Structure 1
């Protein structure tokens, strides 16, 4: 159960040959495990790492928001200036998690500042995402998990918390979980927005695994956003993927255990909570995953459980 997506060669050295050997995933190239693959390059001939699949951006189409991935600071600046003509742009570090490493810019000077603030060499080594910024947003967690002979699929809404510096970070998820795959989940009467989010994630999953045949994962989690663009139109798109243990994993496990005990076709409701307090109380029946001072996030209590 690795904390990060492995490289296929790393996995092979551990004896991990396919998705039955781990809970998580293994990618053929480092960039495949990051936000970088959610968008295409700024233009034909733009800088890209070895193994980059230029066809994936076109294949994803409107399953993602309008945006680009750049591996050169000058190309990022030029691409960002072009995007700013259509509204605010979100600058995203491709390896950051939990909503961190993101800045919204509204003008060329703030774009330049945001790119200058990136750690030395990070854009060239890992890339940077520039993406249209939405407002009035809801962020959905959609995904599948396979453990042994058991498979679940789920959708849910994420919760956010605002830190003292104003940054919004992930604070937990509420999931609706079904036994089986996406087709089994979609057989239930889902809310229209949830159904749209599931279909977007399903398409992203299909196109990504087709673009990178060496990729395998037993946990496939996707963040899908629904919000308003600068003109007030509703936009939906997959933000990123997670092929590793993540914020919703505790809720997935709680639901899987309940569904395996009683395989009656139904949706099980589960949750995870991340409270920025190292002494937060745990509700009865919940499973505590962490309580203490995280070296990155600070004081933290994490727990998961089932809802009635």
Structure 2
């Protein structure tokens, strides 16, 4: 069997834990990360070498392994106290011959990169979490750090860099020690309502129910950068908003915390509106809210954003595309992004297509409105979905659908582009994409797969990113 390089979880602070296989790379395939299915049957004999300092520090260590024993059997033996497994777990096996290559950056000296889950119901084997793990590993490389797993409130040496699964609040930063954009891949807001879709629209009237710290001025600042619509936090207010918008044609009802098009319904009558609202839990409606906005036919959704990672800034404009899931329902299938060095100003200078220019301008105005209303807001990832299309009566609209100040669906394309631009300093821009497949299909040779599980019971079975070509966006 050829030699493979894997990442395992080792003891931390003296605590003995079951070793966890986090990553497996095959040097014979250009260092490509093996699929989840391949990792399940991966065979090892033992750790060739881990130095004492890395063993003492603990965390996640990159080691070389080869052999004939499956990792699942290794885990089973560990539960039974097998000596062979304990030696692996303690990283004490020293094979005869030369030591094999280790991480280029010492674990003890590099910055730990941690996932932080605000959602406590994370499926550790699900595509969302495994994609975040893959992105955390790649971001760690970009910032010369090391991936150190999921934050679990235990003390960690160094000043960690965090990758949260949702927008953080100021109180989270106090606990985690986050001080600014260079401490996370995501964003920080002062109030909980700023983490979801409801911030984009005004309330239906001045007497409407609103969460604490709600700012009517934000909707005024945002103005026409969004589609016509309202936010509501009670059944009566949602019904009022829907009835008012239905006078101008079909509307879309969106649960505030929905992701990737989930939790949405299109209604064309008051009866349909009432039925959809009946299906939303009262507590959810009061705590998180709902968005009622104009629905568009054949809308094209743009992804516009700006990033700060590895001490540099990048901006992009691209488009999203849809695919059919295993039930024949259209769902998010990925994004293709035109990424440039610098911020929004550099991006605007390179755009030529009128609609891309308009979509980017809407996102910039939206971003500026939030920053002006909440000066203590900051984010290293600012992503805005902008839709352009016509409503059921033929009127054209272009506006921001929602913001994302956290790791998101377009992140694999973002990171692929950043990697390519940092590798080739002479380039000003590049095109990269991310793809989510719900049925078996070909994978381009140059793609980087970050999730592959043909037996997944829900969601995509394959996710990958790739760099397409160099050049300026059009």
CA gap 1:164/1:302 in 2 versus in 1, 3 angstroms: closer
> Does 2:215 align with 1:53?
yes
CA gap 1:67/1:33 in 2 versus in 1, 3 angstroms: same
Q: With structure 2 as the length reference, what TM-score do the two structures score?
A: 0.62
> 2:283 and 2:445 mapped to 1: Cα distance?
48
Equivalent residue, structure 2, for 1:290: 451
Question: Secondary structure at the residue paired with 1:96?
Answer: coil
For the 8 Å contact 1:99–1:168, the answer to whether it is kept is no
Count of matched residue pairs: 307
Equivalent residue, structure 2, for 1:83: 245
Equivalent residue, structure 1, for 2:345: 183
What is the CA deviation profile of residues 279-308 of structure 1, one whole-angstrom value per residue up to 9, with x for unaligned ones? 544321211111227989434211101002
> Does 2:468 align with 1:307?
yes
* Aligned mate of 2:289, from 127, 141, 156: 127
Question: Secondary structure at the residue paired with 2:183?
Answer: coil
> 1:143 and 1:177 mapped to 2: Cα distance?
9
For the 8 Å contact 1:91–1:104, the answer to whether it is kept is yes
What is the CA deviation profile of residues 77-102 of structure 1, one whole-angstrom value per residue up to 9, with x for unaligned ones? 11111110000110001111111110
> 2:230 and 2:428 mapped to 1: Cα distance?
39
For the 8 Å contact 1:88–1:133, the answer to whether it is kept is yes
CA gap 1:263/1:95 in 2 versus in 1, 3 angstroms: same
> 1:167 and 1:213 mapped to 2: Cα distance?
41
What does 1:24-63 correspond to in 2, within 5 Å? 24-63=186-225
> 1:89 and 1:68 mapped to 2: Cα distance?
11
Equivalent residue, structure 1, for 2:320: 158
> 1:153 and 1:169 mapped to 2: Cα distance?
25
For the 8 Å contact 2:435–2:463, the answer to whether it is kept is yes
CA gap 1:264/1:30 in 2 versus in 1, 3 angstroms: same
* Aligned mate of 1:244, from 387, 400, 406: 406
What does 1:69-80 correspond to in 2, within 5 Å? 69-80=231-242
> 1:57 and 1:167 mapped to 2: Cα distance?
33
What does 1:232-271 correspond to in 2, within 5 Å? 232-264=394-426, 266-271=428-433
What does 1:267-282 correspond to in 2, within 5 Å? 267-277=429-439, 280-282=441-443
Question: Secondary structure at the residue paired with 1:100?
Answer: coil
Equivalent residue, structure 1, for 2:170: 8
Structure possessing the higher relative contact order (Cα contacts under 8 Å, 6 or more residues apart)? 1
For the 8 Å contact 1:141–1:223, the answer to whether it is kept is yes
What does 1:210-249 correspond to in 2, within 5 Å? 210-249=372-411
Question: Secondary structure at the residue paired with 2:181?
Answer: coil
> 1:90 and 1:62 mapped to 2: Cα distance?
18
Unaligned 5+ segments in structure 2 are: 1-162, 470-474
CA gap 1:74/1:138 in 2 versus in 1, 3 angstroms: same
Question: How far does residue 11 in structure 1 lie from its aligned partner after superposition?
Answer: 2.0
> 1:170 and 1:28 mapped to 2: Cα distance?
30
Question: How far does residue 167 in structure 1 lie from its aligned partner after superposition?
Answer: 4.2
State the structure with more CA Rg. Answer: 2
> 1:19 and 1:106 mapped to 2: Cα distance?
43
Equivalent residue, structure 1, for 2:34: none
For the 8 Å contact 1:294–1:300, the answer to whether it is kept is yes
Question: Secondary structure at the residue paired with 1:298?
Answer: coil
Question: Secondary structure at the residue paired with 2:227?
Answer: coil
Unaligned 5+ segments in structure 1 are: none
Question: Secondary structure at the residue paired with 2:420?
Answer: helix
- Aligned CA-pair RMSD: 1.7
Q: With structure 1 as the length reference, what TM-score do the two structures score?
A: 0.95
For the 8 Å contact 2:250–2:391, the answer to whether it is kept is no
> 1:186 and 1:236 mapped to 2: Cα distance?
17
> 1:226 and 1:23 mapped to 2: Cα distance?
28
Question: How far does residue 53 in structure 1 lie from its aligned partner after superposition?
Answer: 1.0
